[in-house]
Amino acid sequence: MQLDLWSLLILLFIAQGLYLVSTLLLVGQNRQKYWNRFLAGILVAMLWWLLEFLSVRNVLEIPINVFYGTRYGSWMLLGPFTFFYFKAVTNHKWRFTSKDLLHFLPFILLVLIVPVLSGESLSHRQVHYGMLAVFDYRPKTVTAFEYFYSTVFYLQFIHLAVYLLLNFRTIEEYGQALQQTKANIDEVIWLRLFNGLLLLTLLLTAGFLYLLFQSDIYRRALDYIYVLPLGLFVYAASYKLAGVQWTSVESTLDKYQNSSLKPSDKKSYLAGLEEIMSENKPYLNPELRLKDLADSLNIPTHHLSQVINEHYQYSFFDFINTHRVKEAQEQIRNQPERTLLQIAFAAGFNNKTSFGNAFKKFAGQTPSAYRRNIRSEQ
């Protein structure tokens, strides 16, 4: 086994991933352990591919045919695991059922069952040089089975792409729901980043396949185009995702068809809300929740949500951010010596990205542009 620098790096990724998987499965509360099982499944799939690549790269024979699962479609494992992970973290009442096993059927059939029954049906060149060897210019006789698995090799990446698109839809629905109850929705940012990294890995894999076809010569070094991002993804997951406390969307509020809120109470609640926002400035708390504000006003949470939605035409998230942006504008005008990041934190934002996005949405320009305009007027 040739342990050069690249091989040692891959082994480091694998060791880190195994540690993270064990942590995900053993540490945390029951609910957290439940969704971490799917995250562990995602990482196990990636570690499998890293180990497979390490084996192929060093001509290490593993006497298990399905171990080299990428040629049979093992990327079909990743899509369902990500799909169920997103479901689990965004809705804590969701539970995996026997019906959900159908999502894993392509993987089970094409990777675990057919290769075992088919024996040595693939050509030597497909096994040792890749499933796409059937499409090169060299004269050869290709069986229908070989063509079939060459097609499956393509389909596994399309299969993953479909699931990633479904995940983005789940993220957007999750974000819209959270905005009704929270003024800080960093969970959405992390989910977008997570899914985006998976999509980037998929695009890099497509780039590898494109270069392979363009050159018509297999170069082992090209594999690193997607292998290294897989390893880096393991580290990204270990850095953040394992410790996030996800807010569930099943706690978000229904609309108000059957609301018991009386017009007289609505007027009273609105007056109290405007007073507390002006005098106490609760929006300066970056972790402010709808429930916190409702408790301080002694108002039922769903009534406060209704008042904000109907009177201001904002979600709770946007309602709080309008006040934060006004606070930031005031500080930019009156405290020119402070940096924009200092002002962002002082106004209740907890990161630069949220500050910039909210400022542009409600002030119509970036914070830096607003500051330049203020200075030009002075």
Q: Which of 372, 366, 318, 373 is nearest to 344 (CA)?
A: 366
Burial string for 20-39 (b: 16+ CB within 10 Å, else e) reads bbeebeeebeeebebbbebb
Considering only CA atoms, which of 75, 57, 55 is closest in space to residue 65?
A: 55
The model's pLDDT over 5-24, given as tens digits with 9 standing for 90+, comes to 778 888 888 888 888 888 88
pLDDT value at position 253? 45
- CA dist., res. 295 & res. 187, Å (int): 24
Instruction: Provide the residue-wise pLDDT of the chain in tens; the chain has 378 residues.
Output: 567 777 888 888 888 888 888 888 887 667 678 888 998 999 999 999 888 888 877 656 777 778 888 888 999 999 999 999 999 988 888 889 999 999 999 999 999 998 888 877 766 666 666 666 666 666 666 778 878 888 888 899 999 999 999 999 999 888 887 877 777 777 888 889 889 988 988 888 888 777 766 666 656 566 777 777 888 877 776 666 666 667 766 544 455 555 677 777 888 889 999 999 999 999 999 999 999 999 999 988 888 888 888 888 888 989 999 999 999 999 999 998 999 999 999 999 998 989 999 999 999 999 999 999 888 876
Structure tokens at 345: 């934190």
pTM of the predicted protein model: 0.73
Spell out a b/e string for 112-131, using b for 16 or more CB atoms within 10 Å of the CB, else e. Answer: eebbeeeeeebbebbeeebb
Report the C-alpha gap between 348 and 287 in whole angstroms.
Answer: 8
Partnered with residue 182 across adjacent β-strands are 289
Residue entry with tokens 């894999």: 205
Which amino acid is it at 83?
F
Q: What is the reported pLDDT for 53?
A: 83
Measured distance CA(74)–CA(155) in Å, rounded = 11
Identify the pLDDT of residue 189. 84
pLDDT the model gives residue 45: 92
State residue 136's pLDDT score: 62
